[in-house]
A and B are shown apart, each in its own frame.
Chain A
Amino acid sequence: MAAARRNKRMAASQPGFLSFNSGLDGNSSDIKRRKRVNKNKKKNWNKYSDIQDVEEFLDDVRLQEKAAGGLIAEKPDATLFFVDTGEKDKETQPQTTVKKGKRSKPLRIDLILQPDSRIPAPKNVLAFQQPNAKKQRRMAEKAARLAAMGVLPRREKLLRLRQAAAASGLPVKENPVANNNPERAFYDLWSAGTPETDDPYYLEQTKKKLVKRPDRLNEKPSVLPAIEVVGPGGSYNPDFFSHQDLLREAHEVEVKKLRAEERLARQLAVKEDIATEESSFKEQVEGLIEEGDVEPEEPEGGSEDTVIGPTATQEKKTEKQRRKEKAQRIKALRRKADRQMIDKQQQLFQLRSIRANLKTQEQRTRQRQAQRKANQEAQKSMPRRLGRLKFQTPDLDVQLSHELAGSLRSLKPEGSILKDRFMSLQKRNLIEPRERAKFKRKYKVKYSEKRAFREIV
């Protein structure tokens, strides 16, 4: 390319160079006055050097190449000129060209899309060039060298191993099967396998033996059975009385719920003296309207400033008084001790009642113990509080008397077993009660009236 360009330049610099643009030959007529600028900055080189003539010239070269397929100056004369020998052909031409149908004429659109440049499209270099050719060549060389030495590449080696294994009939290690694969195979899990002979310490350290499961974990967290069978009233064709029993049970639950709701409503009810318009207005204008007869009473300011405190100071006791008091104190103490003595002696005669007392006390303790034990037993079958939410007993599945189907065909099943199972898991304390996460919108929804809508309304 570079050589070609140089050629062009050379051609252009020739005195005989022909230009397409007539205005180009020679210097352009109006040369601007040169402006004086400092050339010590790169910016100024670009800005103030006049390259228009060069640009124009190059444009022309490109144009020539496009239109004529090369510089006209270089073309041999035979390609540029022909000898005019009159209009001999003009008569013959229409005869030879037989009018064809519209079909033969190329479409205008195709013509537009035809490339009009005479320059051939540049070759795609990458199509011929191999990326990393050097590296690959080197790798191939290395592989060849190794092969000569008898070392096989890894892939080949693995393939040969696999083939050997298949030939020998040994089981090839397969990919493990997913747990929910419907074709998965089962085996006898509880058969007594070969006992481990290795060192237990070794097995433990290499994690070949699992840690023993504590026995505590094999206890169930609730004593409830896995499947709770519904009562006889839940039959599809129940006995009248058992059905009534079930209905009553469901009714009682409903009534309890209703009562709780009512109580809540009562507690939340607004009291009688609600602000009416009138009263609120009155409140607002209170004090603004002067009323003659209602005069705020001035508080009487004549309060006394003197503080009443304990004025009387205690007088000192005399020695005599002290002695007397002491004697009294000692006397009282002695009397008390005597009383105690007598009481203790008297208790000997109260032995029976004391014994009875003790007995009742013990009985009470025993009763309480039994009660506590019973409570604990009852707790075992109750759902525990395992998380943020409390377990809520699901509604009883009930069919009313008129909903009962006469036959199995017309039976409409009640409730969902899936939900039943899920609740059972919660009830047995296997999972904590949960509720579905609420959908939260990050942004507000903006409603806009569409034109189509407005047209209708």
Chain B
Amino acid sequence: MGGLQKKKYESGSATNYITRNKARKKLSLSLADFRRLCILKGIYPHEPKHKKKVNKGSTAPRTFYLLKDIRFLLHEPIVGKFREYKIFVRKLRKAYGKAEWGGVERLKENKPVYKLDHIIKERYPTFIDAVRDVDDSLSMCFLFSTFARTGKCHVQTIQLCRRLSVEWMNYVISSRSLRKVFLSIKGIYYQAEVLGQTITWIIPYQFAHDHPTDVDYRVMATFTEFYTTLLGFVNFRLYQTLNLVYPPKLDGQGEINLKSEFEEDYALDSESYTEKLSALSASLARMVPSAEEEETELDHFPTEGEDQEKMEEREKMEHEQIKQKKFFEGLKFFLNREVPRESLAFVIRCFGGEVSWDKSLCIGSTYDAKDETITHHIVDRPSIDTQYINRYYIQPQWVYDSVNAKILLPVEEYFLGVTLPPHLSPFVEETEGDYVPPEKLKLMALQRGEKPQTEDEEEEEEEEEDEDEEEDDQSEEEEEAEDEANLAEIEEKRSRGKSLSVKVTPGKAKAENRKRAAEEEKAEEKRLAIMMMKKREKYLYDKIMFGKKRNVREANKLAAKRKAHDDASKEDKKKKKKKC
């Protein structure tokens, strides 16, 4: 029973953690350097489970790191570089103080520089890992590239971010991998599918910045430093997979076309090439000049039965996807000067459309507004003076909505001065029984290939409805009661459809509907299965069904509400019209 008394905090979680200050001292770095190192190496603070034990009895909130992580940091070569940099700064300050300009020159020439390549290789051992994690770096790069050069961060960083983001956009255009766009009140969300990975990023609207004061710019700059390096390597590899030249070169043919007199007015000679690249109007040069479009066709294997069906289905899907990827092909767009040029050019080019803008708006315009072959003119003002007959004048939302729907939407709802239909988020995916807004329903119907109701019909209907409403107005309360009754009825019907047996009346000679019979059989089977359930399972089943029904009920309620709202707004409009 003897032995020494165990001392407190000498084993267990107390020894597994280390406070930030101790870690900093262990690495002999300043706090700022330590922070930078942790961000670059991807080592994050950790919340211990038993804080009081780790904190040696104190309950003061503190930042802890895992001791093993810090030990790992000790091996990092850039720790030495940080120390060197500290000494460099000290020497430089001294040289300035003594006005030794020669010494200053010499020191500046030999400024210690660290590389992040090995860290990226270490954190992302394979290329796919890096692609999976590129969301963050994209958002950060796009954000920093929109900063004004006001000294909040290095001008060089801004330039690098711009370069990388332009490279990325060019890649997305040439790989046709954009999937979704969402214009939110914060910025524009994009989603692309790159090498099977879904990548989402956000781009701020232009000129939307006021610099918030409660953001630590140093931390953000460190993240950006890491992310730019990552994005650069990812870009290089992505360009390689597409057989594109890196750093991106414009296609030779396009380059000649691009030359115009206004070039010199727009940018310096040294900058004009990058500006042209960022205009996104020309395609990129390939390493091996390939045929126009390599049609990738699936290999055919002789298969039987189900496999073949599946194959056919897959082939069909593939075809559809390819078709969707270039549904803007053959269309010629012209952007008026008030629309967001870069975003629209990017989206249109992603789906194979041709796009141009006014010469004075930006470099790289390929045709001007007078071109007769333009099919869509994108305008965001109430009216325009000179209109050509052979093109549609539409608002920019049409492009985004079409992209999300993957079809060319009817342009009528997007004409100039028309109140736009709501811009729905493509990131919302409704499950069965959820409330789906009527706009989306319409859209889905369009996607399925059903023809929308023509305007006249709708109007007629509206009128009819209006008449009905006038009658209804007298008894609003009744209507509500009716609504509820209707709902109840609907529910009942639904439940009946699932639980009641289907009677087969004998003796009537009726052409047997095979489909119907199959359905009935299925329903019967289901009913029997329900009957055979154990008590517990039955309970669970009932619960699930109840939940579903509740969802349906709620959705119905919302739909009814929406209808009421629409009617009300319609009436208002009518009244206004009458007044006018």
Contact = CB atoms under 8 A, between A and B. Distances in A.
Interface of A: 175-182, 184-190, 207, 210-211, 213-214, 217-218, 221, 225-227, 229-232, 234-242, 384-388, 397, 399, 406-409, 411, 413-422, 425, 429-432, 434-436
B235 A414 contact: no
A229 B246 contact: no
B234 to A, nearest CB: 9
B225 A409 contact: no
A82 B215 CA distance: 94
Most chain B C-beta atoms within 10 Å of own C-beta, residue among A185, A207, A225, A240: A240
Given A190-B237, A210-B118, A432-B45, A408 B422 contact: no
Contacts of B143: 417-418, 421
B136 interface: yes
Interface string B28-46: 0000000000010011111
Nearest to A189: B233
Interface stretch (B92-100, B202-210, B288-296, B455-463): B202-210
Contacts of A235: 182-185, 422-425
B39 to A, nearest CB: 7
Contacts of A178: 113, 156
B395 interface: yes
A182 B140 contact: no
A211 B72 contact: yes
Max chain A C-beta neighbours (<10 A), residue from B118, B182, B185:
B185
B216 A434 contact: yes
A229 B180 CA distance: 12
B433 interface: no
27 contacts: A175-B109, A179-B228, A179-B229, A180-B157, A180-B228, A185-B247, A186-B236, A187-B236, A189-B237, A227-B136, A234-B186, A234-B425, A235-B182, A237-B397, A237-B423, A241-B558, A241-B561, A386-B45, A387-B63, A397-B186, A413-B185, A413-B187, A413-B205, A416-B212, A418-B143, A418-B215, A431-B39
A143 to B, nearest CB: 23
B45 A179 contact: no
Interface in B509-542: none
Interface in B317-334: none
B120 interface: yes
B220 to A, nearest CB: 6
A436 B217 CA distance: 11
A207 B215 CA distance: 38
A239 B441 CA distance: 13
Contacts of B69: 217
A225 B160 CA distance: 26
Contact of B211 (A184, A230, A418, A435): A418
A385 B47 contact: yes
Given A217-B43, A232-B425, A384-B47, A414 B338 contact: no
Given A179-B114, A179-B228, A417 B186 contact: yes
B508 interface: no
A154 to B, nearest CB: 16
Contacts of A214: 68, 72
B339 A409 contact: yes
B439 to A, nearest CB: 6
Interface stretch (B121-129, B385-393, B473-481, B487-495): B121-129
Contact of A421 (B63, B114, B139): B139
A419 B212 contact: yes
A446 B154 CA distance: 38
B232 interface: yes
Given A406-B420, A407-B420, 8 more contacts: A179-B225, A189-B233, A189-B236, A190-B233, A211-B75, A227-B136, A241-B562, A413-B208
Interface of B: 39, 42-47, 61-63, 68-69, 72, 75, 77, 109-110, 113-118, 120-123, 126-127, 130, 133, 135-136, 139-140, 143, 154, 156-157, 159-160, 162-163, 182-187, 189, 200-202, 204-205, 208-216, 219-220, 223, 225, 228-229, 232-233, 235-237, 240, 246-247, 338-340, 380-381, 395-397, 419-420, 422-425, 427-428, 435, 437, 439, 558, 561-562, 565
Contacts of A416: 209-210, 212
A422 B219 CA distance: 9
Q: Which of A190, A237, A399, A419 has the most CB of B within 10 A?
A: A190
A186 B228 CA distance: 11
Contacts of B235: 186
B156 A236 contact: no
Contact of B424 (A239, A425, A432): A239
A229 B210 contact: no
Contact of A418 (B220, B233, B420): B220
A409 B381 contact: yes
Contacts of A236: 183-185, 423
Nearest to B189: A229
A355 B558 CA distance: 50
Given A239-B424, A241-B562, A213 B187 contact: no
Interface centre among A180, A181, A242, A421 (most CB of B within 10 A): A180
A213 B205 contact: no
B425 A182 contact: no
Contact of B121 (A190, A418, A420, A421): A190
A434 B220 CA distance: 13
Contact of A417 (B157, B187, B339, B380): B187
A237 B61 contact: no
A390 B133 CA distance: 27
Contact of A385 (B61, B219, B420): B61
Contacts of A399: 185
A392 B473 CA distance: 49
B160 A184 contact: yes
Nearest to B438: A239
A181 B44 contact: no
A77 to B, nearest CB: 59
A176 B113 contact: yes
Nearest to B159: A182
Contacts of A240: 422, 562, 565
A182 B163 contact: yes
Nearest to B422: A239
B135 A226 contact: yes
A408 B215 contact: no
